[in-house]
């Protein structure tokens, strides 16, 4: 094997900035949170009231914050209209411009139609906002809730599909070019959403130990599935069962930074699973944070780490997180917006209640 030393070469800096990580993180959390809200709001499962409310707050807040990061990644947010004026339907990214509004429209309609009776019931306690609550509140509209939930479910699946496929189809980056990527994006998104609900259960008033335990059990299952998918990806690459996977593993396995990140990620997931199973009541703070951390780090490693692997040069490109809008400030700003939206929604949304307790409300699907 010849020895090669690069004498003259350049770095191609990363082109998908931390904005992309932030967008994929937030939209994934939104979709996962929406799915987590369904047992209560769509199916009326008893015991899911608080989890449903927390999940809906997460879905709405992340759903509103995510497109901001996406627009920022275009360098000039006004450029977004070209996605609709000149769509190239061969591109997954072009389809995303249609899937995101589909999902978000369905989500907002689903949230409003599901909360109508509770909003109306809450009007008297809202002071000067009472007229607004009377305007938006009303009797339950099960058909609308079901229709909106259906649109949102289809939209959510399409968002999961396009975000995964958009990255997976890039053959130029072996790390991205395996069918495990969309699956892992989806699993870490759902895991992160459960983590967010666990965190909100602690941060927002009205902590419920039973909800925490229920969420922890769900988290353990999702993270377990995520670990299995990761192990399968590694095994196929390691044993050379398929060329693309072997190439994907080979592109990163030689670098210590990737090895350490992979070990740290798997260890964190294992710890979260053990904690969630061993102490489902009381460990929500930690398991929730670990699940969010896993969702973020997976995307960071795929996007920023993946782009630091040169396509045509040995070694790795250096990446240092800039402090400005394309780096730390952008991430902090997005997360600040998310926190603001969560606080706002928590203040405005009616408190969790059993669906039977809401006056004049008929359970969707049972009307």
Of 22, 27, 73, 163, the one binding another protein by CB under 8 A: 73
| Cα(142)–Cα(139) distance, integer angstroms | 9
Burial 70-107 (b: 16+ CB within 10 A, else e): bbbbeeeeeeeeebeeeeeeeebebbbbbbbebbbebb
Of 43, 45, 47, 91, the one binding another protein by CB under 8 A: 91
Give the interface segment with another protein, choosing from 51-59, 75-83, 150-158, 259-267 (CB under 8 A).
75-83
Tokens representing 97? 């411009």
Kindly state whether residue 332 participates in binding another protein, applying the rule CB under 8 A.
Answer: no
Kindly state whether residue 101 participates in binding another protein, applying the rule CB under 8 A.
Answer: no
Closest to another protein by CB, 44 or 305: 305
Of 134, 146, 173, 279, the one binding another protein by CB under 8 A: 173
Closest to another protein by CB, 25 or 34: 25
**Burial level of 34, CB count in 10 A (0-12/13-18/19+)?**
buried
- The position carrying tokens 């904005």 is 19
Closest to another protein by CB, 167 or 341: 167
Give the interface segment with another protein, choosing from 78-86, 229-237, 268-276, 292-300 (CB under 8 A).
78-86
Kindly identify the residues of this chain, within the stretch 150-169, that bind another protein according to CB under 8 A: 166, 169
Mask for 4-33, x = binds another protein (CB under 8 A): xxxxxxxxxx-xx-----------------
| Cα(365)–Cα(346) distance, integer angstroms | 27
Minimum separation from the CB atom of position 95 to another protein (A): 8
Tokens representing 115? 């909360």
Contact 21, 300 (CB under 8 A): yes
Closest to another protein by CB, 320 or 366: 320
Contact 173, 165 (CB under 8 A): no
Minimum separation from the CB atom of position 132 to another protein (A): 37
Minimum separation from the CB atom of position 318 to another protein (A): 7
At residue 326, the 3 state secondary structure works out as: coil
Interface size with another protein, residues (CB under 8 A): 55
- The position carrying tokens 């030689």 is 254
Minimum separation from the CB atom of position 236 to another protein (A): 19
At residue 353, the 3 state secondary structure works out as: coil
| Cα(51)–Cα(259) distance, integer angstroms | 36
Query: Which residue in 233, 267, 264, 263 sits closest to 250, CA to CA?
Result: 233
Of 43, 47, 87, 213, the one binding another protein by CB under 8 A: 87
Residues composing the chain:
367
Contact 219, 291 (CB under 8 A): yes
Tokens representing 22? 């932030």
Minimum separation from the CB atom of position 314 to another protein (A): 5
Query: Which residue in 68, 32, 104, 103 sits closest to 337, CA to CA?
Result: 68
| Cα(226)–Cα(237) distance, integer angstroms | 17
Closest to another protein by CB, 5 or 128: 5
Kindly state whether residue 170 participates in binding another protein, applying the rule CB under 8 A.
Answer: yes
Kindly identify the residues of this chain, within the stretch 309-328, that bind another protein according to CB under 8 A: 310-318, 320, 322-324, 326-327
Minimum separation from the CB atom of position 25 to another protein (A): 18
Mask for 31-70, x = binds another protein (CB under 8 A): ----------------------------------------
| Cα(210)–Cα(55) distance, integer angstroms | 15
Contact 104, 155 (CB under 8 A): yes
Rule CB under 8 A: which residues touch another protein?
2-13, 15-16, 73-76, 79-80, 82-83, 85-88, 90-94, 96-97, 166, 169-173, 307, 310-318, 320, 322-324, 326-327
């Amino acid at each position: 094997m010849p020895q090669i030393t690069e004498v003259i070469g350049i770095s191609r800096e990363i082109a998908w900035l931390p904005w992309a990580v932030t967008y994929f993180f937030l939209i994934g959390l939104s979709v996962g949170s929406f799915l987590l809200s369904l047992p209560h709001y769509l199916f009326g499962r008893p015991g899911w009231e608080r989890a449903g409310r927390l999940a809906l707050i997460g879905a709405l807040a992340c759903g509103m914050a995510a497109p901001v990061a996406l627009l920022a990644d275009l360098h000039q947010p006004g450029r977004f209209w070209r996605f609709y004026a000149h769509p190239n339907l061969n591109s997954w990214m072009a389809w995303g411009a249609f899937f995101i509004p589909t999902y978000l429209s369905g989500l907002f309609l689903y949230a409003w139609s599901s909360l109508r009776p509770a909003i109306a019931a809450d009007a008297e306690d809202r002071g000067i906002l009472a007229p607004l609550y009377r305007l938006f509140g009303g009797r339950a509209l099960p058909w609308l809730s079901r229709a909106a939930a259906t649109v949102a479910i289809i939209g959510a699946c399409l968002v999961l599909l396009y975000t995964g496929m958009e990255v997976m189809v890039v053959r130029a980056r072996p790390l991205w070019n395996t069918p495990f990527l969309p699956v892992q994006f989806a699993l870490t998104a759902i895991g992160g959403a459960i983590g967010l609900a666990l965190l909100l259960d602690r941060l927002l008033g009205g902590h419920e130990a039973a909800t925490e335990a229920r969420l922890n059990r769900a988290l353990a299952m999702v993270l377990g599935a995520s670990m299995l998918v990761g192990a399968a990806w590694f095994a196929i690459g390691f044993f050379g069962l398929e060329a693309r996977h072997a190439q994907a593993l080979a592109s990163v396995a030689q670098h210590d930074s990737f090895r350490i990140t992979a070990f740290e990620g798997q260890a964190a997931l294992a710890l979260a699973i053990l904690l969630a199973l061993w102490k489902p009541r009381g460990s929500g703070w930690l398991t929730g944070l670990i699940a969010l951390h896993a969702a973020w780090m997976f995307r960071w490693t795929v996007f920023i780490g993946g782009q630091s692997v040169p396509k045509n040069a040995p070694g790795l490109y250096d990446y240092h997180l800039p402090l400005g809008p394309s780096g730390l400030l952008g991430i902090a700003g997005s997360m600040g917006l998310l926190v603001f939206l969560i606080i706002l929604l928590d203040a405005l949304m009616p408190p969790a209640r059993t669906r039977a307790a809401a006056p004049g409300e008929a359970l969707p699907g049972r009307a």
